[in-house]
Amino acid sequence: MTARPRAPARATLALGATALTLLAAALPAHAAGEVTLYTTREPGLVQPLLAAFTAQNDIKVNTVFVKDGLLERVKAEGARSPADLLMTVDIGNLVDLVDGGVTQPVQSAALQTAIPSNLRGSDGQWFALSLRARVLYADKSLPLTAFRYEDLANPKYKGKVCIRSGQHPYNVALVSAMIAHDGEAKAEQWLRGVKANLGRKATGGDRDVARDILGGICDVGLANSYYVGQLKGAKEGTDARKWGDAIKVVKPTFAQGGGTHVNISGAAVAKHAPQRANAVKLLEFLVSPPAQVLYAEANYEFPVRQGVALDPIIASSIGELKVDPLPVAEIAKYRKQASALVDKVAFDQ
């Protein structure tokens, strides 16, 4: 029997090198001094933070803005995904990433120290980075110093309430909180009461609430806290500044619990993060005192870390928050029920 001739060793090595080259070319490159961030936040809002991180750590941040379908994209990429850190602007979207199986747990003393327990996942899967409160905009002539979310359904405000779509994530989160606090039946009753008090259709944006208060269409309405900074900090004589000057801000509380409802921007480390250590380092930086100051100054957001100074406009217009102590993850559990209730009462019609 004739022995089959063996390929020359040099040829075998060449074939192996070619295969490795092809394999390397097929996979995304990951430099040790880089980290890749997938974010639904507008890049301009986080760029000052990322630039500060790079300057301090000599780690380049590759930012990928994903307007819609973040979970679907990361799932489709699978183990080949270049994503290291996933950032969203709503607790519901963040929890969806965890439930979708595209995140991994992180154990970090720095994160646990900086972030209150109700603002991070109990299993280390996600972390809040900044807060936005759902506050009351009110005509500045009204003698209001305190307000409960439940008061929006009081008949005394009939025809005097303005708000954006009930199906917007900001309002779905608030309805979810009402369910978490008081149960679905009471939340439905409240929603019907608020709808009956609307001065116009539930539409537009949060800034439009201030605009319509100035226009006399309504006296009060709910909106996010950071818009206060945008409006009251706008250039003198602009429409935005006129809207901001027409309102005062009251921090509503729940009848049960006594805190103000907040939503978060937050992040989670991707399940297949090629640069996991850098992702954790970026997370820890984002809750450090210097970064939390940047969140406050650049975006008019409330820092998640205690003891960090607020932006001066937010400090004078709103002041320190007493955050609803209910875990935001608990609130997020009721999103589907909340959305269904909005449709059930025809809130947006």
What are the residue boundaries of the structural domains of the chain, listed by start?
34-131+262-310, 132-260+324-344
Angle between helix axes 70-77 and 91-99 (nearest 10 degrees) is 20
How many other CB atoms are there within 10 angstroms of residue 66's CB atom? 18
The pLDDT assigned to 30 comes to 53
Q: 3-state DSSP call for residue 88?
A: strand
The pLDDT assigned to 101 comes to 98
Which CATH class, in words, describes the domain spanning 34-131+262-310?
alpha beta
The pLDDT assigned to 31 comes to 59
Alpha helices in 222-275, H assignment, sequence order: 226-232, 239-245
The pLDDT assigned to 9 comes to 38
In 150-165, which positions are buried (b, 16+ CB within 10 angstroms) versus exposed (e)? bbbbeeebeebbbbbb
Largest CA distance in the chain: 105
Pairing of β 262-270 and β 127-139: antiparallel
State the 10-residue block means of pLDDT for the chain, 349 residues long: 40 34 38 90 88 96 95 97 96 95 98 96 96 97 95 98 96 96 97 98 97 98 97 97 98 90 97 98 97 92 95 96 93 96 97
Closest CA to 138 of 212, 219, 222, 254: 219
Q: 3-state DSSP call for residue 225?
A: coil
Question: Which tokens in the block code for residue 235?
Answer: 């250039």
Between CA 283 and CA 108 the distance in angstroms is 10
The pLDDT assigned to 126 comes to 98
246's CB contacts (< 8 A; 6+ apart) are 139, 140, 210, 213, 214
The pLDDT assigned to 44 comes to 81
Q: In degrees rounded to 5, what are phi and psi of residue 98?
A: -65, -50
Hey, what CATH topology would domain 132-260+324-344 get?
D-Maltodextrin-Binding Protein; domain 2 (3.40.190)
Q: In angstroms, what is the C-alpha Rg of the chain?
A: 24
The pLDDT assigned to 43 comes to 80
Q: Which amino acid is at 40?
A: T
Question: Is there a shared CATH topology between the 34-131+262-310 domain and the 132-260+324-344 domain?
Answer: yes
